Amino acid sequence: MSAHAATRSSPTRTLPARPPDGFPFAHPRYRWYVLFAATGLPLALACVLLLMGVCALSQGSVGWARYMALMASPPMLALSVATFGAVLYFAIRFLWVGRKIPGVRLGPIPAVSMEVAGVLQLAGFVKLFLLIVVLLSGWLFL
């Protein structure tokens, strides 16, 4: 066969790829994945609000009072509840998916199951969050 014959297009016509019927909500796996991906939206907005709080700290007590008034409004309280739900769902989903991954051995560290690794990672996030809360609230500087 010549090189020219190998580069010719196939005589068999194919249709372009298309998503399954009802995508992304027809299959439960799709729904859960879309929900998992959507947890990033309230988390991103909460990060922006946290940065606004840090900027409010630099503006003194007046700026901080305005920020606290903003955060006490009903829409911000609803966002806080949604963010908490998103974080909780993300953590549960992370641990649920992680249990299916076998433990691996990395160098001198013994193999651990992904449940243990997930719990350790989640505990690290909680410690970091509590440290940030303590630092921002000024408990260490009293």
DSSP secondary structure string for all residues of 54-103: HHHHHTHHHHHHHHHHHHTSHHHHHHHHHHHHHHHHHHHHHHHHHTTSPP
pLDDT at 73: 93
Q: What is the DSSP letter of 14?
A: -
Q: What is the pLDDT of residues 99-131, one digit of tens each?
A: 666 655 556 666 666 566 667 777 777 888 888
Tokens of 99: 């249990």
Q: Are 56 and 48 in contact (CB under 8 A)?
A: no
The architecture CATH gives domain 24-101+110-137: Up-down Bundle (1.20)
| Dihedral-angle region of residue 111 (phi above 0 means left; psi in -120 to 50 means alpha; beta otherwise) | beta
Below-70 pLDDT ranges, the chain: 1-10, 24, 97-118, 138-142
pTM of the model: 0.54
**Alpha-carbon torsion angle 41, 47, 51, 56, nearest 10:** 80
SS3 of residue 2 by DSSP: coil
Written as six digits, the tokens of 60 are 């003194």
